[in-house]
Chains A and B, each alone.
Chain A
Amino acid sequence: MYDIKQLEDEWKRYRKKKLKPWYIGTGIVVVLTLFIIFFQTNLKINFNTLKTYFKTSKEIIPSDKNEKSEDTVVLNKMKVKETVLLDDALEELEVKDHMIELADKLVKESDNILVDIPILDDTNEHPVDEEIVARKKIHLEIIDSTSVSGYKDVEKRFFESHDIDDALFLAKSYYKNGNYKKAEYWALEANKLDDNKEESLLIFVKSKVKLGHKNEALSILMSYVKQSDSQEAKKLLYQIENNKL
């Protein structure tokens, strides 16, 4: 009998050689499968990114269209000037905030004198501070809002909070932007909330003049001058009468 061990070794080598193409083939198939899976996954990611991109675009485009449909000319101007406008408004509103703060403090102080309960001083002071902080937060939100939709947000917020600052802000912004009808509307809204607010009345009158209702504007302003003897109001009256507005 020949050496069976040698034959067995030879057979093992033969088997290895025979199976080699299968191993290589299987390897290639596995690599290709992995490559296809990897490629498809990548495609999905890109596709999703594109989807997200198109969705965002779609969301932006209709809002622009809506704005344009409402008042295309005004919004075009607003887009250009919005940053400047917001900064100006912020300055004025911040001034108002200081005034409100001072007024509130005076009111509180007078309350403290009347009630004469020192403990309540502390308890009353904190909510005021919180209120101020809250108001400041609102202003910050306006500053951050660099798009046209920022005005929409302020309007929406006004209908929920009925904050006179928001109404005044909108009245001034629209007036400066040349949208006198809206300026008139928001000045009136501000005046409804506080008819002693001279600023709202002045914007209202100026908007009336710009809209061509000069007589009506003069009538309102003159009755206010008589009532308040305000220097600002007199100055405006002079400007309107001499067509210098």
Chain B
Amino acid sequence: MKSRYEVAKNVFIDSIDIDDYIDLDSSVTAYQQLQHSMNKPLKMILLFGRPGTGKSILLNRIQEKLKHQKEIHYFDTPAINEKEFFHKLFKVLTKKDLPSNTEVNFAALVDFCKKLRGKREIIILLDEAQMYGTEMMEKIRLLSDSRAVKFVVSLHKTDDEDLIAKEHFQSRIWEVIELKNATKEDQTAYIHKKLLKKNLFEIANSIKEKNMQRIHRYTKGNYRECNKLLFTIFEICEYYDKNEPSKVNYAKISDRIIEMAALKLGYIHV
């Protein structure tokens, strides 16, 4: 027999699935802000925040929503090298595959973009942009100068990445959107909504206010960490449910299980 906790556990698998997107006050605000910025005549938009604050899912969400209205493309993982990146970009711009054994001439690509100005407006969503090298970022900047291609650059918020932003985009980025960790209320709503989306009403109710405070304390409101912790909590619950049911309180998730999960994930230490 399948444990109820198995379903709950799977709700929190950390993946960028647009169907799992949860509308929260903070995420709705960020979404609207990004959409508004994209309508402005900007060359580049910087979306930054700490890992797990929902940058990738926001980019996915906006691409999914606007794909029928705008020419919008999402580059999820950074290209291994420059050649691969320009192959990808060539395909987006020309809507053709690059013939094999050929390379993109960057100067010709810039000229091509300049010719597109006023005719097409292409939006490129670059996720994990901190992984692009300095030279590559400079070429991206030159492409954005053509005004035919608009880049939304998503960066992790670290000191180094701030430096990248300063060096390469300072003069061109006209809009900066920062994503922050969730507040306790937002995180509570996030967990409840996720569970209710899968009709796990009883389990959602078994996570009490104090449990939420503890979860928020451990994860600091980070969505990715929250997913990891909830996944582990329900994994432990699933084990007890199947093997030692006396150790599970179905009405309330015990602090003990939350602490065990936190120990497992290294949020707390012996």
Give A residues with C-beta under 8 Å from B: 1-2, 4, 7-8, 10-11, 13-15, 17
Contacts and interface: CB of A to CB of B under 8 A. Distances in A.
A11 B261 CA distance: 9
Contact of A14 (B240, B243, B270): B270
A96 to B, nearest CB: 97
B10 to A, nearest CB: 15
B239 A4 contact: yes
Smallest CB-CB A-B distances: 9 pairs: A13-B270, A11-B260, A14-B270, A7-B260, A10-B263, A1-B239, A4-B239, A10-B270, A11-B259
Nearest to A8: B260
Given A7-B260, A7-B264, A11-B259, A1 B235 contact: yes
B268 interface: yes
A14 B263 contact: yes
Interface string B10-50: 00000000000000000000000000000000000000000
Interface string B235-270: 110011001000000000000100110011000111
Contacts of A8: 260
Given A10-B270, A14-B270, A4 B263 contact: no
A14 B264 contact: no
A88 B243 CA distance: 106
B232 to A, nearest CB: 9
Contacts of B268: 14
Contacts of B236: 4, 7
A79 B264 CA distance: 92
Contacts of B263: 7, 10-11, 14
13 contacts: A1-B235, A2-B264, A4-B240, A4-B243, A7-B236, A7-B260, A7-B263, A8-B260, A11-B263, A14-B259, A14-B269, A15-B259, A17-B270
A14 B264 CA distance: 12
A4 to B, nearest CB: 5
A15 B259 CA distance: 9
Chain B's interface size range is 10 to 19
Interface of B: 235-236, 239-240, 243, 256, 259-260, 263-264, 268-270
Nearest to B244: A4
B99 to A, nearest CB: 51
A4 B257 CA distance: 11
A10 B256 CA distance: 11
B152 to A, nearest CB: 39
Given A11-B260, A14-B263, 5 more contacts: A1-B235, A8-B260, A10-B260, A10-B263, A11-B263
Contacts of B264: 2, 7
A158 to B, nearest CB: 89
A38 B34 CA distance: 70
Contacts of B256: 11
A183 B256 CA distance: 98
Nearest to A16: B270
B5 to A, nearest CB: 12
Nearest to B238: A1
A14 B261 CA distance: 12
Contacts of A10: 260, 263, 270
A2 B268 CA distance: 18
Nearest to B256: A11
B240 to A, nearest CB: 8
Contacts of B240: 4
A112 B269 CA distance: 111
For B236, B243, B268, B270, which residue has the most chain A Cβ atoms within 10 angstroms?
B270
Nearest to B261: A7
Nearest to B235: A1
Nearest to B257: A11
Nearest to A2: B264
A169 to B, nearest CB: 91
A4 B259 CA distance: 13
B264 to A, nearest CB: 6
A8 B235 CA distance: 14
Nearest to B259: A11
B19 to A, nearest CB: 27
A10 to B, nearest CB: 5
A20 to B, nearest CB: 12
A135 B59 CA distance: 122
Contacts of B239: 1, 4
A1 B268 CA distance: 20
A15 B255 CA distance: 11
Contacts of A2: 264
B244 to A, nearest CB: 9
A1 B261 CA distance: 13
Contacts of A15: 259
